[in-house]
Amino acid sequence: MDLTLNVVVFQLNSNDDELITAAAPAQAHDSVRQAWQQAERERQIQSSDVTRVHSTWQPTDTDRNFLAATFPEAGHTHVFERPEGDDWTDALEHARRVMDEVENIKLRERGEEMFRQAERVGEWLPILHSVSEPLPFSASLPLVEGKLYFGFARVTTTPDGRIGMSHLTRSKFEAMSAEEIEELALEALGNVKSGLNFKVAPDAELGTLATMERDGPCVASAILLDDFHEKCAEQVGEDRLVVGLISPDHILIAGAGSGQVEDIRQAVLTSPDTGTELVPCLLLIDADTIEVVAERPR
């Protein structure tokens, strides 16, 4: 939010769905009047329809007179007090600190709501994470010792596309029986497999490049499936595979002897993904082993 602007919201007919927003320089002595002129140009409205005016900055005496004359029945509110004099340095700094704190609160509340939603309706999925040793508080099992681990989480996707997770804690995992762990693993792996499909791009010169997709997040966790190697080997025509985990939702697969290997390596090393505990990495996989051969710098 640009705090050097005075953003003014005009509510019409006491209706929260009828809001017109305009802006003018905050330090202008008539910024509310300028904002109203902008609103009038953009939409045919009458001043008598305005029932509330809300601005970022406290109106000046000039604007208070304008509000009283133009919207005599409307309520007036503002967020920040206007500084006395022409030096806005402290006022702008204070406003920025307040807005940063408000944004942090919103992010925290959104994260908490996504966590609660995941708890309520999320599906169990295995979650990959790149660490040198098991996580201290979440369930963390080795896939490649000292490099790549996995745990479990309830996962949901919000309507705006954000991913919410509620991780299985280490204490809860350690309290589970062997039968309960097996049941959880089967459910989580079954969920990963649901909606999973290949896209294959044959190339006579470089060899086949395959990608995996699923109807939901965490496609990279498919490497945990017991038939992952077999299915991928069928697609690319080689037993030894190079698998690039570009992000939890983006995976590239080719034969280890193909000409696609260097392109996959570069995709891993230059991956922009920074939003998860999985560091983009390059895996060498055969029927019996998984090896981490490269990682993007952390």
Query: Residue 135 has what pLDDT?
Result: 80
Last residue of a domain, one of 175, 192, 209: 192
Q: Examine residue 92 and state whether it is found in any structural domain, yes or no.
A: no
Query: Residue 85 has what pLDDT?
Result: 85
Same domain, 200 and 188: no
Same domain, 227 and 200: yes
Query: Residue 286 has what pLDDT?
Result: 95
Same domain, 157 and 200: no
pTM for this prediction:
0.62
Same domain, 161 and 232: no
DSSP conformational letter for 82: P
Distance of alpha carbon 293 from alpha carbon 150, whole angstroms: 18
* Cα–Cα separations (whole angstroms), residue 269 to 144, 198, 223, 295: 19, 23, 19, 7
Same domain, 172 and 211: no
Q: How many structural domains compose the chain?
A: 3
The single-letter code of the amino acid at 158 is: T
Same domain, 215 and 280: yes
Last residue of a domain, one of 192, 218, 242: 192
Query: Residue 90 has what pLDDT?
Result: 92
- Closest alpha carbon to 192 in 218, 168, 161: 218
Q: Examine residue 90 and state whether it is found in any structural domain, yes or no.
A: no
Pairing of strands 290-295, 281-285: antiparallel
Same domain, 206 and 272: yes
Residue 47 domain boundaries = 5-82
**Along the 298 residues of the chain, how does pLDDT read in single tens digits?**
789 999 999 999 888 888 999 999 999 999 999 999 999 988 888 999 999 999 999 999 999 999 999 999 899 999 999 998 889 999 999 889 888 887 776 666 665 665 566 566 678 999 999 988 878 888 899 999 999 999 999 888 776 667 778 888 989 999 999 999 999 999 999 999 988 999 999 999 999 999 999 888 899 999 999 999 999 999 999 999 999 999 999 999 999 999 999 999 999 999 998 877 899 999 999 999 999 999 998 8
Same domain, 207 and 188: no
Last residue of a domain, one of 55, 82, 109: 82
- The two three-digit tokens of residue 145, written as one number: 């010792």
The single-letter code of the amino acid at 166 is: S
